[in-house]
């Protein structure tokens, strides 16, 4: 099974935030259905070439585009 990641928009208290731009606006439906770390890195790098895309920080990569966005492994 491939390691897939979903991207969510969360408030500082951890609740989902449905206001403003959503991850799927930038990452497409892969943000909801799941995407590989490589696919996510290509999108982040295209928008933020200064992003440091270290493998141990995959969950934080989307925050280079929007501070409220985080990735987590798709477990289903």
pLDDT digits over 15-45, tens only?
999 999 999 999 999 999 999 999 999 999 9
Tokens 């259905």 — which residue? 33
Listed as own residue / partner, the contacts of 22-26 with beta carbons closer than 8 Å and 24 or more positions apart are: 23/62, 23/66, 23/69, 26/65, 26/66
End-to-end CA distance of the chain: 11
Among 12-16, 46-50, 59-63, the minimum mean pLDDT is found in 12-16
* CA atoms of 16 and 43, how far apart (whole Å): 22
- pLDDT tops 90 at residue 59: yes
Q: With a threshold of 0.85, does the pTM exceed it?
A: yes
CA dihedral 5, 8, 56, 40 (to 10 degrees): 60
What's the pLDDT at 76?
Answer: 86
Percent of the chain with pLDDT over 90: 91
């Amino acid at each position: 099974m491939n390691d897939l990641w979903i991207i969510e928009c969360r408030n500082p208290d951890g609740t989902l935030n449905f206001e403003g731009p959503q991850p799927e606006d930038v990452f497409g439906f892969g943000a909801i259905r799941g995407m590989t770390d490589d696919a996510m890195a290509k999108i982040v790098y295209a928008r933020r070439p200064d992003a440091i895309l270290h493998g141990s920080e995959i969950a934080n990569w989307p925050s280079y585009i929007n501070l409220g966005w985080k990735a987590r492994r798709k477990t289903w």
